[in-house]
Structure 1
Amino acid sequence: MTAIHVSEVGPRDGLQSIERVMPLEAKKRWIAAEAAAGVSEIEVGSFVPPTLLPQMADTADLVAFAKTLDGLRVVALVPNAKGAQRAADAGVHAFSLPFSMSETHSKKNLRKDHAQMLEEIAACAEIARNHGIHFEVGLATAFGCTIEGAVPEDQVVRLAEAAIGAGAMEVGLSDTTGYADPAQVRRLVRRVKAAVGDDKLDTLHLHNTRGLGLANVVAGLEEGIITFDASLGGLGGCPFAPGASGNIVTEDLVLMLNSMGHDTGIDLEKLLEVRGILEEALPGEPLYGFTPDAGPMLDYNERTAA
């Protein structure tokens, strides 16, 4: 069996994309239940100004709570060095910063051009080193942008190298707008790995906007990717990318990986029960996924034992 890591990003990427604010206690129940199901890494929130994203105002409280859960790697997103310092002060195990490969998207999302973002990466890297925190840069809109359209692969490779040069410990490829296809995933993973090293790219953040999410996961697996972001119930997307919504559904991803014989360490039956927490706390909020409705295959246990 190959060990594959599923990183739950729903408490951040999912909740930042809906108008309602999920109560803190419900978020804690969600995080605790997923950890109990075997999810070993959760992005619990982001350190952005509460005036911009009130949904994330309780992130420091969630970090403190999540750190009490045995074996859970607690991750947060940061938009800049100020957010990185807040994350470090809260005690996260790791933080990530989104670096849009589309400069137009970067200016709209974080109000900084590429040169300014590289300065922020360098400042975040210093904070991470000083606090012993793992620091990843997510290469957002790496597969295309709903504002600019196609993003040149040469540009993604160049900026990936620049991010590592500025101090990022690793980079991840993010399909922020749901533009990726399997051939593109294979090609870009190969190119970025060749530029920065195999050990500095092992994560894909894929969206299912156009129904290609799981196909793109398989392409990533074939290229040696071992960490995939996903959101329970498919919550989330990017509020700054028009038309982009729908992260990969954690339940569907786990079913597929476990059925393929990979070792996620996640108990699917327990994971499916977590969905009820979202339904109770966010009544009427659309949740996605095929596995919650259809259930696992009759021979699922035999497949996972193979």
Structure 2
Amino acid sequence: MDIVSVENLVKRYGDLVALDHFDLRIRPGEVFGLLGPNGSGKTTAINCILQLLTYDKGSISLFGEPMAPTRYDLKRRIGVVPQNVAVFEELTVRDNIDYFCSLYVGERARRRELVERAIAFVGLEDYARFRPRKLSGGLLRRLNIACGIAHEPDLVFFDEPTVAVDPQSRNAILEGIKAMNASGATVVYTSHYMEEVEEICTRIMIMDHGRGVAVGTNAELKAMVSAGERIEVEVAGLPELPEPVLADLRVLPHVRRAAAEDGRLTVMCGQGTRNVADVLAVLERHQVPMGRIYAEPPTLNDVFLEITGTDLRD
């Protein structure tokens, strides 16, 4: 049974179509990533699933049952960590978490246990008596997460949780999500940071203009396109790479693009087994002085670029 099932969802804002016959299926135990640029419909999709927005057409089921604004029995099983930090400035860290947990758990003794567990989970033990204005941006994000997951939900939505946080807090957030999933929670993770999605998600949907344009595992998505290696070669010492060198590179069997700028040659290749060897052979033949050489496998950005014609970060 799918834990999330969305069929033919349409959401319009006047003439703007935010979700265009959007379909989504998420299985229990997944860390499912919604990857797309800002404005692709990720947040709108989550808000419709949670019944925070009305929609024009479509059906939504959670835990195998139809979702509706009054299905509080289903909502108790859901945690939400919104993109914008939503806490009370006049309450301490502990009191904020306790308040949000009280929306789902009425028993004080049980709630006290859950609050302390949530504080430990996000690493805020030393800040439990602080008010939000005393916290850094990264610590505020951690508090936001604790408020959303303190009642230990079965399904958790994270909407861009690492925006504008320091690297240490970012790593702590991602490790926490992995631990939460390992303990049994299904996670829906939205981001426009492809590196994060690649790191933690078991399956990924690429969204663009309110549609899911591709879905699969990281490896499955990359196998859908012809994108291969990205090869970078330092050619310091040359003001610019001679045009005959670039011309010879561009006629290689799997080379799709070759350009040089600021002492660095970048070659984008299709899938092939000798891409690096072929590129180096051309450079050696032209006696191009080479420094460090990098070869990277295709990224989700390459997949997005080939499917949509635009860069993921545009």
TM-score range, shorter chain: 0.3 to 0.5
Rg (Cα) greater in structure: 2
More helix per residue = 1
More strand per residue = 2
TM-score (norm 2): 0.37
TM-score (norm 1): 0.38
